[in-house]
Amino acid sequence: MSIHSEENGRLDRSSEPDEKLDLLSDVLRFVQLKGGSVFSGGVPKTGELQRLRDVSSIHVVQEGGVELVQPRRPPLSIKAGEVLLVPRGGVLLDIRASSDAELQTRMISATFTFDNAEAAAPLLKLLPDFIHITPAMDKSSVLIKDVAQFLVLETANPEPGFSLMISRVIDILVIRCIRTWSRTVQNDGWVGSLADERISRAVAALHRDPTITWTVSALASLAGMSRSSFADRFTQLVGHPPLRYLQNWRLQLGFDLLHNTPLSVKEIAYAVGYESEAAFSRAYRTKFGYPPRDSRIRTTGSA
């Protein structure tokens, strides 16, 4: 993964021996989770609907089972050992205990928010309203119940650092769910690129070295494809032409550096591959609706 170097103000290549970029990690490092409330307990067997709040949340069924009631769709059964992730919020979901569950239904639920909601939004919009993870999709999903139990322990006996611990546990659960789900679907953006080894190779190069003056021909060569075939396939899977994707990625990196480093706007412009502060500022305003300096002020109150 590319990391920022304070010595040269550029994005330097990782020193890890394996240069194949983990695209999922590279994207999800922008999704900074903050844990919210945690619920653990039984679900009434009265058939009464319980509405999941209009927030991002994750739900691990420990015993029994629940049904997710969806408008104009059959109920979705979620059994013990399975997980329901609502990654973006903005959607109301109703659940009830499964009528055929032999055991009292028990589940662990947790809500979370994003510290960098503006930066995360373009990445998260590619995810569905909810993600249902079963053992058939991930053989090690049985461990999720054990990991989720840490949420209960930390909430029941708060100690110094418990808020951070809750956020980290939720982080692990969410990333695991998204990684498992991404293997089973095709989508655009970074999710789409995961489905094709050749296109993924090109996207990895853009993520690893965003400051290079890339051409479509050079990326096609990395992918082992003709220029026209590569351009068509990249746009089909990722949702944007290669160089447009590169511009969006550079601006995403710029947003992250603005909010997480003391670098000046000029230093950040060069660090993400722009030839001037003015060019970076124009592109940034076009994408986010305000200039880079205002972006930092909106978060920190200082330029």
Are residues 70 and 162 both part of a single domain? Answer: yes
- Domain's final residue, options 134, 151, 182: 182
Query: What is the domain count for the chain?
Result: 2
Domain CATH code at residue 178? 2.60.120.280
**Are 221 and 82 within one domain?**
no
Q: Are residues 205 and 282 part of one domain? A: yes
pLDDT at 33 over 50: yes
Summarised one tens digit per residue, pLDDT across range 214-223 is: 999 999 999 9
More confident residue, 239 or 217: 217
Residues 273 and 228 grouped into a single domain: yes
Same domain, 112 and 208: no
- Assess contact for 250 and 239: CB atoms under 8 A: no
In whole angstroms, give the CA distance from residue 175 to residue 13. 23
Specify the range with the lowest mean pLDDT, choosing from 61-65, 188-192, 260-264: 188-192
171 and 224 both lie in a single domain: no
Find the domain containing 218 and state its range: 189-300
Q: Are residues 139 and 278 in the same domain?
A: no
Residue 241 lies in a domain: yes
185 Rama class: left (phi>0) / alpha (psi -120 to 50) / beta: beta
- The reply to whether 247 and 207 lie within a common domain is yes
Residue 204 falls within a domain, yes or no? yes
Residue 27 or 236, more confident? 236
**Residue 272 pLDDT:** 93
Q: What are phi and psi of 108, to 5 degrees?
A: -110, 125
Of 150, 182, 214, the position where a domain reaches its end is 182
Pair (137, 161) in one structural domain = yes
The residue from 182, 209, 244 where one domain ends is 182
Does any domain span residue 9?
A: no
What number is the average pLDDT over the span 16-20?
A: 38
215: domain CATH number is 1.10.10.60
Does residue 110 sit in the same domain as residue 207? no
Confidence of residue 273 (pLDDT cuts 50, 70, 90): very high
pLDDT confidence bin for 127, thresholds 50/70/90: confident
Query: Are 40 and 175 part of one and the same domain?
Result: yes
